[in-house]
Amino acid sequence: MNKTTISEVYKYVDQEVKIGAWLANKRSSGKIAFLQLRDGTGFIQGVVVKSEVEEEVFQLAKSITQESSLYVTGKVQKDERSPLGFEMQVTGIEVIHQAVDYPITPKEHGTEFLMDHRHLWLRSRRQHAVMKVRNEIIRATYEFFNQEGFTKVDPPILTGSSPEGGSELFHTKYFDEDAYLSQSGQLHLEAAAMALGKVFSFGPTFRAEKSKTRRHLIEFWMIEPEMAFYEHEDNLKVQEQYVSYIVQSVLKNCQVELKTLGRDTSKLENIQAPFPRITYDDALKLLHEKGFTDVQWGDDFGAPHETAIAESYDKPVFITHYPTSLKAFYMQPAPDRPEVVLCADLIAPEGYGEIIGGSERIHDFDLLKKRLDEHELPLETYQWYLDLRQYGSVPHSGFGLGLERTVAWISGVEHVRETIPFPRLLNRLYP
Ligand code: 4AD
Ligand code: MG
């Protein structure tokens, strides 16, 4: 007999197979039992008909508890009604481990309860689907940047200097020195781009943000490309191509998961480069027209503003040329207009907010030194970064895409806490 997985049963239609699985849920009557089986690769319904199996098998089917682990044998059959397209006519069941009372029952549970049981909640159909979408985005990311000739570079996690400002840094001791958990790999990636041309990183980043919103995690994963000789417009092109690529990859390879999540896929099909662009100035006008009269030039946009701007488009939208005063020290001022910078935030549709922050970087030594002074950043710490502007300095650009916000948008889940296996939130370090 063929030992297989749920994702591979399509190869064995009308044949008998054996799978290792957990019992996700169960319904039974006097004559028939329906077992919802899951094995990590997918979900399948096992049907146990009393008149067709040995009495012992039927009694076992009725007595197994939720989340017990099993070896199940049965015949694979086509079934149009199931999302998978197949079900299993069960012939035999072997219980590996009978589970004790499982806390997450098929009824509704509150979010705090589910978060306390995240180690178990991950097993549910919906959470499984989100993790599969996340994995597809990761896979497509590597594929895209490898195809485009980028080299993956791993910046340090323990750092002495920070790109995005001091207030959100996690402090730790590095023997006798002070160190911080990385909030972005950008500065080190700029150095790597001068060695390797086009580079990207993909790693965890940390922000001690006291924000309790559906978009903020304390620990999140970021994809950060950095490209030598790329100017502002070149940078936007990479971003729209990359985001289109991951959306189209998920549409192609995660049909079952998107169906499980109830995602409206017509909204995703439309996500193809190019994306619309709007300057900060024009976005401000748009906000005023929409009744947000309190925002002034120089104010940052909050979540409601981003959502209002995004509503005017059915694709992600770049907001470009923010006031210099709002953005990090390293951003290149616009030619002839130093009060704004050559940057863009990419705002996802449907209220998911900013998924990318990026910019052209200052490559002039004197200007960068002046900006470090203005931001009162210690020269000793940033000497190595400034040094990059002394040896064949070139225009260069890059960006950072937040993985979890992107997973939330593409999956259509409300809150980023469901998009990472074990979220670190303001008041949550366990499980
Ligand atoms: O806009 P940010 O802060 O940009 C940077 O860190 C740049 N140094 C990146 C670069 O140019 N290499 O962060 C980039 C993205 C945001 O657009 C958002 O998607 C995500 O990271 N992000 C968060 N995601 C979840 N929780 C948080 N607390 C996040 N903070 C930022
Ligand atoms: Mg940002």
Q: Given the CA of residue 225, which atom of ligand 1 is nearest to it?
A: 12
Alpha helices in 200-359 (DSSP H): 232-253, 255-260, 266-269, 280-289, 303-310
Beta strands 333-334 and 219-228 are unpaired
User: Residue with the nearest Cα to atom 17 of ligand 1?
Assistant: 356
Nearest alpha carbon to residue 168 among 155, 181, 179: 181
Ligand closest to CA 409: 1
Q: Name the residue at shortest CA distance from atom 30 of ligand 1.
A: 216
Residue nearest to atom 1 of ligand 1 (CA): 357
pLDDT at residue 394, rounded to an integer: 98
Give the number of whichever ligand sits closest to the CA of residue 238: 1
What long-range pairs does 100-109 form, CB within 8 A, spacing at least 24?
Answer: 100/65, 101/65, 102/65, 102/66, 102/67, 105/66, 106/25
Q: Answer yes or no: is the C-beta of 207 below 6 A from any ligand 1 atom.
A: yes
User: Which residue's alpha carbon is nearest to atom 27 within ligand 1?
Assistant: 216
pLDDT tens column, 99-119: 999 999 988 999 999 999 999
**217 Cβ closer than 6 Å to some ligand 1 atom:** yes
d(CA 242, CA 187): 22
The edge-to-edge listing of strands for the beta sheet with 343-348 is: 151-152, 198-206, 219-228, 396-402, 353-361, 343-348, 317-320, 277-279
3-state SS assignment for residue 254: coil
**Ligand 1 pocket check for 423: Cβ under 6 Å:** no
Minimum CA distance residue for ligand 1 atom 28: 216
pLDDT at 106: 86
Residue corresponding to tokens 């030594």: 365
Distance 134 CA to ligand 1 centre (A): 17
CB 305 within 8 A of CB 353: no
Confidence (pLDDT) at 268: 98
Q: What is the pLDDT of residue 83?
A: 85
- Closest-CA residue to 241 (of 211, 267, 275): 275
Q: Is the complex ipTM more than 0.90?
A: yes
Q: In angstroms, what is the span from residue 356 Cα to ligand 2's centroid?
A: 7
Terminal-residue alpha carbon distance, the chain? 39
For residue 226, give the ligand nearest its CA.
1
Dihedral angle sign, alpha carbons of residues 274, 303, 431, 426 = positive
CATH of 119-418, one of 1.50.10.150, 3.40.50.720, 3.30.930.10, 2.60.40.10: 3.30.930.10
Q: Is the shortest distance between the CB of 220 and ligand 1 below 6 Å?
A: yes
* Cβ of 331 below 6 Å from ligand 1: no
Domain ranges (residues) in the chain: 2-97, 119-418
For the Cβ of 243 lying below 6 angstroms from any atom of ligand 1, the answer is: no
In sequence order, what are the residues at sequence separation of 6 or more whose Cβ sits closer than 8 angstroms to the Cβ of residue 388?
A: 190, 191, 194
CA of 193 to the centre of ligand 1 (A): 19
Residue 426: strand, helix, or coil: coil
Separation between Cα atoms, residue 84 and residue 237, nearest integer Å = 37
- Residue 366, phi then psi, degrees to nearest 5: -65, -40
Pocket test for ligand 1, best of 220, 362, 406 (most atoms within 8 A of CB): 220
What confidence score (pLDDT) does residue 162 get? 76
Do residues 110 and 87 lie in contact, with contact meaning Cβ atoms separated by under 8 Å? no
Ion ligand 2 — residues with CB < 5 Å:
357
| Ligand 1 atom nearest 186 alpha carbon | 12
Residues 46 and 22 sit within 8 Å (Cβ to Cβ)? no
Tokens of 222: 């970021």
User: Ligand 1: does its nearest atom lie under 6 Å from the Cβ of 216?
Assistant: yes
pLDDT at site 161? 76
List, for residues 6-23, the tens digit of each pLDDT value.
Answer: 999 999 999 999 999 999
Q: What is the CATH code for 2-97? A: 2.40.50.140
Q: Is 355 in the pocket of ligand 1 (CB under 6 A)?
A: yes
Query: What single-letter amino acid sits at 282?
Result: D
Distance CA 74, CA 91 (A): 5
List the chain residues with pLDDT less than 50. Answer: none
Which residues neighbour 383 within 8 Å (Cβ) at sequence distance 6 or greater? none
Ligand 2 mean position, distance from CA 217 (Å)? 14
Write down the pLDDT at residue 275.
98
The CB of 405 under 6 Å from ligand 1? The reply is yes
Which of 184, 227, 342 best tests ligand 1's pocket when mutated (most atoms within 8 Å of CB)? Answer: 184
Kindly state the DSSP code that residue 386 receives in the 8-state scheme. Answer: H
State the pLDDT at residue 57: 97
- pTM equals 0.97
Residues 6 or more apart whose Cβ sits within 8 Å of residue 130: 257, 261, 407, 411, 413, 418, 419
Residue 98 CA to residue 83 CA, distance in Å, equals 27
Q: Is 404 in the pocket of ligand 1 (CB under 6 A)?
A: yes
H-helix or E-strand spanning residue 111 = helix 111-116
